[in-house]
Structure 1
């Protein structure tokens, strides 16, 4: 993945931080043992997060990534609401299996991340608004559970849904997704995602 990314993580003290980590690193790999034992299909482990934006050029933050991250006018915790809608899949490596997130609770934080990180706008302007509309149609906010190149059929998705429920995560039962589990606010990481997945570590961190 070229450039760097801004991620939104659950607060470290939030139960979902450990629940999602266990799903990603232990529970879900154990459901698909043939893949986990394959040298070519072995699962990739990563910190649970929702990507706010990616493809940020290192020239944007230069030698002061923390100062740059601190300068972004993110909305306060009271205006950032990550809510899980359902489990789904796409035939894309980084979205092999993921939790869809309700758009309305994260639209503002995604917008300012994109504006400052990629579009060169101090505030959310026309370029960023156009991108957000495109992004909602093509990708939408999500929290990945599994990366990989092997397609997920309906049976596999149902097994993941069951594992998510057994872990204590309640998905939305309404059309707008407002009643699903999730978290408010969180921690933003700036991560050089042009490195191998195993080396994805933050170079700047900020709590909302």
Structure 2
């Protein structure tokens, strides 16, 4: 069976859920060349911040919902996803072709818990543990972020400026200087357990969900 990941999505009633979904599925793909190759063809996925990947199906076996519910998730008011600008970013990594950085402080607890339970066989983030070490390295080697586009071809500076303008036009706050933007992130959200082992993103699927309360 394919490995899985834990994603954190905006609450379904939060305006950012619809806004990010539109950017990912429609607005940003429309800026790509009409004769796009596989390297830049659009990939559609739910708006999310990945908490951790590399989760073995042996953990949840035939009852993924029970496993997800057994994790002592923090309350919604303890989770604060906040975007970090001043613009969108791009890296030469398929799932980070175009993304918005997220500040670590508001998601450190929930990401650490996801890593501890999902990968390291721990029930808490103990000092000097594997999870504690991962949390120190995470911002440097991967870091919390919300992806906007996947692909093998990074965006150049001109494209990043264009995409940043579209993201801010949609109301997402990346720079404090832009007073017209209204959403700097979201609180709480819904945790998805997603099978992501397939090479085809269209085959990725959520197998359990847990709304933070």
TM range (shorter): over 0.9
* Candidates 185, 190, 208, aligned match of 2:188: 185
Runs of 4+ that moved beyond 3 A = 37-41
Gaps of 5+ in 1: none
User: How many residues are aligned here?
Assistant: 202
Q: Indicate the structure with greater helix content.
A: 1
Match of 2:154 in 1: 151
- How do 1:51-90 residues align onto structure 2 when only pairs under 5 Å count? 51-86=50-85, 87-90=88-91
Match of 1:140 in 2: 143
Q: Could you state the TM-score of these two structures normalised by the residue count of structure 2?
A: 0.90
Q: CA deviation at 1:34?
A: 3.4
Q: CA deviation at 1:172?
A: 4.3
Rounded to whole Å, the distance in 2 between the matches of 1:109 and 1:152 is: 30
- Cα 1:39–1:100 shift into 2, 3 Å: closer
> What is the root-mean-square deviation in Å for CA atoms of aligned residues?
1.6
- How do 1:18-167 residues align onto structure 2 when only pairs under 5 Å count? 18-34=18-34, 37-38=36-37, 41-86=40-85, 87-125=88-126, 126-167=129-170
> Does the CA contact (< 8 Å) of 1:84 and 1:172 recur in 2?
no
Rounded to whole Å, the distance in 1 between the matches of 2:52 and 2:70 is: 16
Gaps of 5+ in 2: none
> Does the CA contact (< 8 Å) of 2:16 and 2:183 recur in 1?
no
Please give the secondary structure, in 2, of the residue aligned with 1:66: helix
Q: Could you state the TM-score of these two structures normalised by the residue count of structure 1?
A: 0.93
Rounded to whole Å, the distance in 2 between the matches of 1:72 and 1:93 is: 30
Q: Deviation string for 1:72-102 (max 9, x for gaps)? A: 1111111100011121111100000000001
> Does the CA contact (< 8 Å) of 1:83 and 1:180 recur in 2?
no
